[in-house]
Amino acid sequence: MNDKPPLDIQQLIDRQRFGAFHWVLLALCFLILVVDGFDTAAIGYIAPALLAEWGVEKSALGPVLSAALFGLAIGAVTAGPLADRVGRKAVLVVSVAFFGIASLATAFSTSLEMLTVLRFVTGLGLGAAMPNAATLTAEYAPAARRSLLTNAMFCGFPLGAAGGGLVAAWMIPHHGWRSVLVLGGALPLVLACVLAWRLPESLRYLVVNRKPTDRIRKVLRRMTQRPIAEGTVFVVPEPTQASGKRAIGLVLSRAYLLGSVMLWLTYFMGLLIFYLLTSWMPVLMKEVGFSIERAALIAALFPLGGGIGAVAVGWLMDRTNPHAVIAAAYALTAAFVFGIGQGTASLGMLATLIFLAGVFMNGAQTAMPALAAQFYPTQGRATGVSWMMGIGRCGGIAGALVGAELMRRHLGFDMIFTLASVPALIATLALVVKLVASRGVHALAAPADLAQRTR
């Protein structure tokens, strides 16, 4: 008979000092987001050179530019349930290797049709990687710093996207546009090898899914730097409503459905406004009298504040109600986006409004995976985060289409930004409903221990 007290994995993670193990995990997930951002943005950087070499019209690139977005949505939705079944590490290693191989193949495209198909295939891997990196980071981060660390990890994406522009600016004149895609394929393949070697599997996943205790003890030994006695019982507090449910069934269950829909709606609206502004703001700025160079520079202020917003929102989420923090960020986004439409009289005022809108918009959007990871229990966490991000990707597609429709209607500058503020208000209201839904989850699903025993 085993008289040893059970070892609560979550309490151990929350008490653990943030050491070398956590830094390696955070760095690896950060690098996943860096190469993800690089490959996602690569097509935009090579587009001018590609148009010149192939002699095609700009409009012909529409399917190429949107193909990856469709792939991202499908990849995210399908990879979450798979990660809840086979583990976060396996899906991450395979997805990173997958989009690396696809990017290499894309470099040898000989037609727009071939390029479109391969960009869609690349998007499948890109979409699978991001939500699972967020899930794994959240499951290892101590509760007191979970949102901050998850948001900091997400800063890798804009860094990779921005770095891709700098790399492309140097590589294309010297080696051609295909070299950018070759690099975008080689880097993920190298990273996939490192991930297979050093990335740990989620402890919560291992315990909840009753994996061999030798695997659990091995990971614990790496994290704590001390041996774990044989016969130790490992437990993870989980809601009783979650036990026995498949991942998708849990996300769509009565206890979680309303909260899930509100997460989807919020993320959808966030990406709608993000892609609407990033895709069309340079055009709008030029139409109100700015030169092409100045329009591009002013528009670049919108994503520039993303890192500041992500870290600030994450820090606040760990210290107060995370729903209130993100809802406030979306509400401020709406106010500043509306203000952009009224602020064209002063260049300094306009630049300030755009920068602040970007700080709050990017901060709120980056924080959403951390909020979703906190909402779902272990056996549905990867699915919940992935579905939110996958369905939300449709908002990015909608943003580009909405922008085109607004341009077609020849609306005024102020009216366009007034309408652009509406999605942020909808996101704010959705999070208020989500807060009420979260209280309902706690009432419907009381905590229970799911134990794994070493024999």
Please identify which residue in the block is written with the tokens 């498949």. Answer: 246
pLDDT at 164: 78
Superfamily of domain 247-447, CATH level 4: MFS general substrate transporter like domains (1.20.1250.20)
Residue with tokens 């295909």: 178
Which residues on adjacent β-strands are paired with residue 450?
236
Q: Is the pLDDT of residue 449 over 60?
A: no
Evaluate whether 8-206 and 247-447 have a shared fold: yes
Q: What is the DSSP pairing of strand 447-453 with strand 233-239? A: antiparallel
CA 242-246-251 angle, to 5 degrees, is 65
Q: Quick one: residue 55, left, alpha or beta (phi over 0 = left, psi -120 to 50 = alpha)?
A: left
Assigned token pair, 206: 């291992």
163-182 residue pLDDT tens: 777 788 788 888 999 999 99
pLDDT (average), residues 404-430 = 88
Structure tokens at 421: 């503020």
- Where do the structural domains in the chain lie, given as residue ranges? 8-206, 247-447
Its CATH class, for the domain covering 8-206, is mainly alpha
When mean pLDDT is compared across 64-73, 96-105, 188-197, 363-372, the lowest value belongs to 64-73
More confident residue, 453 or 108: 108
| 221-231 pLDDT tens trace | 999 888 888 88
Range scoring the smallest mean pLDDT among 95-109, 251-265, 297-311, 320-334? 297-311
C-alpha to C-alpha distance for 353 and 247, rounded to whole angstroms: 42
The pLDDT value recorded for residue 443 is 40
Mean pLDDT of 297-308: 74
pLDDT of 409 > 50? The answer is yes
Do residues 71 and 118 lie in contact, with contact meaning Cβ atoms separated by under 8 Å? Answer: no
